[in-house]
């Protein structure tokens, strides 16, 4: 496939996707799409029943649906998941009565269009992110730091991929190791501290929090490049040491300012994230 999975949002629903450069289209998690269209409490069962009905009717869609390993939203581990391309999903939507059908079709079309534009010119994706942050009220200073943090994270995950760390569950554990080492909290604890639910943690960090998190990730990346850890287990030690570098900086700042670095401020008041 060449590209790792990504999470896309439709009306606050998370949809797992994977871009395939060969067919120039996304694969979408069918279960996630069913959850959007039906708002069912058990989309897995809904899809199981629908799939059987479609198969009995001889609908080709069921036989050509692919399966890919995607991270589970429950535990982050990789499991085989039914996926479908845009064309296949459009056929599936016809079999699912839903008031969200038309808006979802428009969303699918826009997703494909934007992705092809971004493949042709990666700067477009960055500019779209900047425009989105501006509309939400973030300052130019904060946006600059956030864009840098995105590049820092890309460098880190590229290094993890190089040394044999698996995306999904293993990435999540290493991220928690880094977070605990510098902030004293796991990612979930950090989000709880800020009063977050579905929101992204970094989009709710202050400038100083972003800088220290970037220091932790850059340090981890550089140590890994020098030491070449063998896979996940050895990378955990590197992640903790990289995080500790930022943790030491955090303690120095607090000792000299008398103020806590980790803040409860969040994007409900983005203007406060500069302070």
Greatest mean pLDDT among 14-18, 109-113, 256-260 lies in: 256-260
Residue 20 binned pLDDT confidence (cut-offs 50, 70, 90): confident
pTM of the model: 0.63
* 89-95, long-range: CB < 8 A, 24+ apart: 89/28, 89/30, 89/33, 91/59, 91/61, 92/30, 92/33, 92/61, 93/37, 95/50, 95/53, 95/54, 95/59
Between 178 and 69, the higher pLDDT residue: 178
Share of the chain above pLDDT 90, in %: 49
> Which positions ≥6 away from 109 have C-beta within 8 Å?
86
Q: What pLDDT, in 10s, does the model give residues 215-254? A: 999 999 999 999 999 999 999 999 999 999 999 999 999 9
Greatest mean pLDDT among 24-28, 58-62, 215-219 lies in: 215-219
Q: What pLDDT, in 10s, does the model give residues 135-168? A: 889 999 999 999 999 999 999 999 999 999 988 7
* CA-to-CA separations, 95 to 37, 189, 192, 246, 259, in angstroms, rounded: 11, 41, 39, 52, 57
Residue 69: is its pLDDT beyond 90? no
Count of CB atoms situated within 10 Å of the CB of 6: 12
Residue 88: is its pLDDT beyond 80? yes
Residue 192: is its pLDDT beyond 90? yes
pLDDT given at position 1: 37
pLDDT given at position 167: 82
């Amino acid at each position: 496939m060449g590209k790792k999975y990504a999470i896309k949002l439709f009306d606050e629903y998370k949809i797992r996707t994977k871009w395939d450069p060969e067919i120039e289209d996304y694969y979408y998690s069918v279960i996630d799409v069913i959850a959007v269209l039906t708002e069912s409490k058990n989309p897995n069962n809904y899809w199981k029943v629908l799939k059987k009905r479609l198969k009995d009717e001889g609908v080709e869609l069921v036989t050509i649906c692919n399966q890919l390993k995607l991270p589970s939203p429950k535990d982050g581990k990789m499991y085989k998941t039914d996926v479908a391309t845009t064309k296949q999903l459009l056929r599936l939507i016809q079999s699912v009565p839903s008031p969200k059908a038309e808006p979802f079709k428009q969303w699918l079309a826009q997703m494909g269009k934007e992705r092809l534009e971004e493949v042709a010119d990666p700067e477009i994706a960055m500019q779209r992110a900047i425009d989105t942050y501006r509309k939400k009220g973030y300052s130019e200073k904060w946006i600059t730091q956030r864009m840098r943090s995105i590049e820092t994270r890309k460098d880190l995950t590229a290094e993890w991929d190089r040394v044999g760390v698996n995306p999904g569950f293993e990435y999540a554990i290493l991220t928690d190791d880094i977070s605990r080492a510098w902030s004293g909290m796991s990612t979930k604890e950090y989000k709880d501290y800020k009063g977050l639910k579905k929101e992204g943690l970094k989009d709710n960090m202050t400038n100083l929090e972003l800088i220290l998190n970037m220091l932790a990730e850059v340090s981890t990346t550089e140590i890994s490049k020098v030491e070449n850890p063998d896979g996940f287990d050895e990378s955990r030690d590197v992640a903790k040491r990289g995080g500790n570098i930022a943790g030491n900086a955090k303690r120095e700042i607090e000792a000299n300012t008398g103020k806590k670095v980790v803040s409860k401020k969040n994007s409900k008041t983005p203007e406060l994230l500069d302070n």
